[in-house]
Chain A
Amino acid sequence: MDCPVVWLYCGGYIMAFNSNIPEGPLKDKWTDHLFNMKLVNPSNKRKYKIIVVGTGLAGGSAAATLAELGYNVEAFSYHESPRRAHSIAAQGGINAAKNYPNDGDSIYRLFYDTIKGGDYRAREANVHRLAEISNNIIDQCVAQGVPFAREYGGLLDNRSFGGAQVSRTFYARGQTGQQLLLGAYSALTRQMKTGNVKFHPRHEMLDLVMVDDKARGIITRNLETGEIKSHAADAVILATGGYGNVFYLSTNAMASNATAAWRAHRKGAYFANPCFTQIHPTCIPVSSEHQSKLTLMSESLRNDGRVWVPKEKGDKRKASEIPENERDYYLERMYPSFGNLVPRDVASRRAKNMCDAGHGVGETGLAVYLDFSDVISRNGQEWVAEKYGNLFDMYKQITGENPYEGPMMIYPAVHYTMGGLWVDYNLMSSIEGLHVLGEANFSDHGANRLGASALMQGLADGYFVIPYTIGNYLASNKLVDIDTNHPAFKDAEDKLKESNDKLFAIKGSRTVDDFHKELGKIMWEYVGMARNKEGLEKALVEIPKLRKEFWKDVKIPGSETELNPELEKAGRLADFLELGELMARDALNREESCGGHFRQEFQTEENEAKRNDADFTFAAAWEYKGENQTPELHKEDLNFEHVKLTTRSYK
């Protein structure tokens, strides 16, 4: 069965929960779908207003492309400029199946690697489309003037990332996200100039507005003045990024949050696989209680760096004093064919195991070495600086130590969230008219994302998928004419003001950061790298308790009608305090280990993740049932017709 349709009775309405995967052979699905979808007449496009929330890679590329097509776009971001989005921080690169190095890559191989890397918990059809589109993205970016790295002959250079044995990652030194975002931003500013995009900087979406069960607008708060305002449209796109900051410490930007997605969830959008979080193996270890965020050292470093720990437990000697034969290059030892380039979940777990077993290094014992001495002596410092210069500088800036002289110390940290709002093949959520792109949706990475695939997915969604599928939605639906005078807007505005008043009225004794740190500790301890039933049940008690405490004792200074970062943070934390609970519930429900979700009860004798395909080959889509109510689980069965489900092996 290709299209599982589940009819659900939901608050008086019958709603379809349908992946809408097109019929036909895998490799023709997208092409056929492109032909079968309805088009909006070019002269009519102007009449449709589309709201795009978020102008990172996914939202920026979508807003620009929709405007180029002639739609009337309003874009919103809590940042002062689209160029500030978290996408800017992506370092390592972006994948595509160009096969420029002639090393055997193909669309099918990228598809296969992504499905396998995701531990068989993603939709085949979506992932195949992603692989097909990947090549167009590189063409597009080069045409925009993105200065990718090149070889001496003038052609584009590639490097390798984890989970792949081919070199398919395009990069711009260690600043690929910056260059791609500036590309999308340039396309967007061009449309801002024409007036096809109206951009609202420093505007935070705080609610979704529905009319006749369709997404028809949003409520925003102007972060500078505090003004609460309604915006109506024919369709709404969320491209609001991931929710890794639920852990407090993560590699995400400080303001990254789940509010837009969560508030849409409260309005009926299903949240899928919330427990699938990615812990990245190569981050700078935590150094003190005051730490506000963690810094990634790009995975690309594993191309040339070798991971090791001392063979002797508790060895306190300096790295330089430990002779070669007393070092354990454990990834190379355990996984001879992938070596240091095993996927992230495997590398992270192994680092944790090594440290738990007493081999960790550094003051805290929660770190392993990433050593470049081999490559430096082979190719010279200059060669290394050319490839990784900014990362080495960043490491030095943060730790005060020079990684050209001794190995880096690294430890896993929360990095990316594979889970997100559930979407169908057309990137539409379970709310009609609400589309979700980029890290905010759950679509393509299954239980583990491969390196350099998020940028690919965000740009695929924005440049090449949504411009067509949203046209199909608009052309297929007769939407009633509404504006912001519709009572649904007034109602949502009132509720929002009420909730802000409630926050101010608490006048408690603890700061938002206090609560956030505490939530982060619970999440890391019980819903982090290794999970078990007992811990998850504990989290399900602790998180609601903390949430109650928050609503009783948080202290928000200042007023509503001014730039008030504490108020912004409080609203976001309130949502994290609900999302965290759903993550624990989802993790408890999924009685298997797969990808980034590792349940200690379910592992092989060699401590690898042990999936349970018979019972868990589904995407878990959770439906909100009201405050403090148990959410309802809907299962979207995943059907694998091309890839055989096997135990992942990187040995």
Chain B
Amino acid sequence: MQINLKVWRQENRQAIGGYKNYSVSDVSEHMSFFEMLDKLNNELVRKGEDPIAFDHDCREGICGSCGVTINGRAHGPLRGVTSCQLHMRSFKDGDTLVVEPWRAASFPVIKDLVVDRKSFDRIMESGGYVSINTGGTPDANAIPIPKIDADAAFDSATCIGCGACVAICKNSAAMLFVGAKVTQFTKLPQGKVERRERVKNMVAQMDAEGFGSCTNTGACEAECPKEISLTNIATLNKEYLKASLC
């Protein structure tokens, strides 16, 4: 099939970007969306043009590197799927796809579709851990954890840190991302020890990075490729309130 693309091109952080049109022919439905971009990029290089830069690595939906907005949808039209897992069978011959980088003040564009998500790392630095050193830890089975809690912690811990939740949110809020980490630790005895400090510090850093506040639209949950649920934001709010009160 033939696919028409309207892609955001921006040379570097300082440059003013704009859309450029491309058309890719002989696209097979078995190709992934990125394999289609690979094809286009190879054609561009052969023609002496600059290929489109985009972040990606595992191409299995787990590393969280990738993330583009396709026709206004973060990670494209499917639910629970990252950009790299999207296959061309989701599109039709002749479709036009508008491809953009994540748009958020806290995720500045580095080049084309590549953005800088260091703000996420800094939020994690502010408290996304249990403060223990290597060694001297108790036997792994010393503290039984109810399966239901372990499973719930896992569900939150599957966040891949891609930033789709921020990109799709009209307030550019990072609360689903932060809520997922906070929730994971509140479900586990190991994480409970520092729960107050953690939530306060992570929220403070989130604000300092310029992420907005949640107004309960729920776009993040709908676009999150790992289907992290809104209850994580509810837990975040509850934990924050509790921590601020005492």
Binding site for B on A (CB under 8 A): 61, 64-65, 68, 79-81, 83-86, 88-89, 98, 100, 136, 138-145, 147-156, 172-173, 175, 178-179, 182, 185-187, 189-190, 192-193, 201, 224, 253-255, 287-288, 290-293, 295, 393-394, 397-398, 400, 463-464, 467, 509-511, 513-514, 555, 557-558, 562-563, 565-566
Contacts and interface: CB of A to CB of B under 8 A. Distances in A.
A406 B57 CA distance: 30
Interface string B115-150: 011101100111011111111011111001111001
B53 A147 contact: no
Contacts of B161: 81, 83
Nearest to B78: A397
Given A254-B57, A394-B85, A139 B138 contact: yes
A511 B139 CA distance: 53
9 contacts: A68-B133, A81-B118, A147-B150, A192-B125, A292-B35, A292-B38, A397-B81, A464-B135, A511-B45
Contacts of A514: 42
Contacts of A79: 57, 65
B64 A84 contact: yes
Contacts of B134: 61, 64-65, 68, 140, 187, 463-464, 467
Nearest to B80: A393
A562 B51 CA distance: 13
Interface of B: 11-12, 28, 30-32, 34-35, 38-39, 42, 44-46, 48-51, 53, 55-65, 80-81, 85, 87, 89, 110-111, 114, 116-118, 120-121, 124-126, 128-135, 137-141, 144-147, 150-151, 153-154, 157-158, 160-161, 184-185, 187-188, 190-191
A565 B50 CA distance: 10
A140 B140 CA distance: 8
B45 A557 contact: yes
B63 A80 contact: no
Contact of A185 (B49, B58, B124, B158): B124
B11 A562 contact: yes
Contacts of A143: 130, 132, 137-138, 190
Output the residue of B28, B48, B135 with the most chain A CB within 10 A.
B135
B224 to A, nearest CB: 14
Given A150-B151, A555-B46, 19 more contacts: A64-B134, A89-B62, A140-B137, A144-B129, A144-B190, A150-B147, A178-B160, A190-B125, A192-B125, A224-B111, A290-B38, A393-B80, A394-B60, A400-B87, A400-B89, A509-B46, A557-B45, A563-B110, A563-B111
Contacts of B120: 81
Shortest 3 CB-CB distances between A and B: which pairs? A154-B144, A186-B129, A143-B137
Given A147-B150, A147-B154, A394-B61, A189 B128 contact: yes
A105 to B, nearest CB: 14
B46 A511 contact: yes
Nearest to A224: B110
A555 B45 contact: yes
B79 to A, nearest CB: 11
Given A190-B129, A290-B38, A557-B48, A142 B63 contact: no
A148 B150 contact: yes
Given A147-B188, A290-B35, A563 B114 contact: yes
B118 A201 contact: yes
Given A139-B140, A186-B130, A397-B81, A292 B51 contact: no
Output the residue of B81, B111, B125 with the most chain A CB within 10 A.
B125
